[in-house]
Amino acid sequence: MLSEKTCPDLIGKSRFAGKNLCMLFIAILLLQITTLAQEGWFEQTSGTAFGLRSVYFTNDNSGWAVGSGGTILKTTDGGTNWIPQTSDTTEWLNSVHFTNDTTGWAVGGNGFEGIILNTTDGGTNWNSQTSGTTGWLISVHFTDNNTGWAVGGNGFEGIILNTTDGGTNWNSQTGGTMLPLSSVYFTDDTGWAVGVGGTILNTTDEGTNWNFQTSGTTEDLYSVQFIDNNTGWAVGTNGAILYTTNGGTNWNSQIGGTKEGLFSVHFNDNNTGWTVGDSGTILKTTNGGVSFVEEQEIDEIATNYSLTNNYPNPFNPSTKIKYSVPKSSNVVIKVFDILGKEIETLVNEEKQTGTYEITWCAENLPSGIYFYRIQAGDFVETKKMILLK
């Protein structure tokens, strides 16, 4: 614990000035600790104790979350503050999706019919649409203002609905599973649906045919989202977070730091995402959900740009990467697999002159050859490393 005696009076004026300097030092220290704590997933305040079942953002600032009791929350500052909206229903709302800042849908159910709500003014007003099903609807996703899907279950089989007119009419598709489905997401013709017992289905023809994928978990999965045809996340019970970089052929676990059920996940890009769940839980990540990257500045003079060979190499599961910048530079270091797909961003920030060392843990990745690349100013270099488990 810091005291006045341990904080020198550097300006040599008064005991009061020294105390202020001490408090400033503590504030800076706490800020650094907070910044470090925000690696991986960190909590935001929802302002409600109702269970939240879905979250969707149209950009880094504007987003919606829905849940029990007809709850709809909206944020315009990236989740720092959430404002309630009026849904005109007290039933469970399980999913929300927007195609732009004004047009969106929310779905749910009451055990007798599937509920679908639509807004064209950013959620100021929500209007009912007819689902044509007696089952619960648990997820909705649209690729444009007309084409969308909703999935759920009626206690006997999984339900998949499709619309091509913005929800005026909904038609059934066959998912090939008797298990209830909890979430659906499409990038174009390619889509995924997830459900109980770790169920993951994939389609490449707009839902005409669905095929099973292996999730590697028996946890119930409640939400899935992809930022392209390869990179996606799925979340579920007991804080489960799954991640794939190859379209779902392989799914790896991430650590979210909670055991609460997670019911929705949404990413705007490879790094920035949110997941929501029980007890008003909202988690956010700014590095793709990875919590296994540590960095420290080391006492070496930087005379030029450099990127060293990682060590050890081969490695399992951790390795160290050292780099130097001779002047203040924006540094980006990324990891790619052997096919050139981006796996992870290790550094993406302004760095002062110095030498730095990263410790990277690839515990959740399969064995293979990976590449890491630095870009700092005009300096670009790529090196190879081998993960051998």
Residue % of the chain over a pLDDT of 70: 86
Rounded Cα distance, 359 and 281, in Å: 30
Rounded Cα distance, 118 and 76, in Å: 20
pLDDT at 208: 85
Model confidence, pTM: 0.57
Rounded Cα distance, 226 and 232, in Å: 4
Q: What is the pLDDT of residues 275-310, one digit of tens each?
A: 888 888 888 887 787 655 566 778 888 889 999 999
Q: What is the pLDDT of residues 264-283, one digit of tens each?
A: 888 888 888 888 888 888 88
Between 230 and 3, where is the model more confident?
A: 230
244 Cβ contact partners less than 8 Å away, ≥ 6 residues apart: 230, 231, 232, 233, 250, 251, 252
Domain definitions of the chain by residue range: 4-37, 43-285, 293-387
16 three-state secondary structure: helix
Q: What is the CATH number of domain 43-285?
A: 2.130.10.10
Q: What is the pLDDT of residues 182-216, one digit of tens each?
A: 888 999 889 999 998 999 999 998 888 889 998 87
Rounded Cα distance, 292 and 132, in Å: 46
Question: Considering only the top CATH level, what class is 293-387?
Answer: mainly beta
Residue 339: Cβ-neighbour burial (10 angstroms; 0-12, 13-18, 19+): exposed
The token duo for 314 is 């081969």
Distance of CA 322 to the CA centre of its chain: 28
- Amino acid identity of residue 378, one-letter, is D
Give the CA diameter of the chain: 78
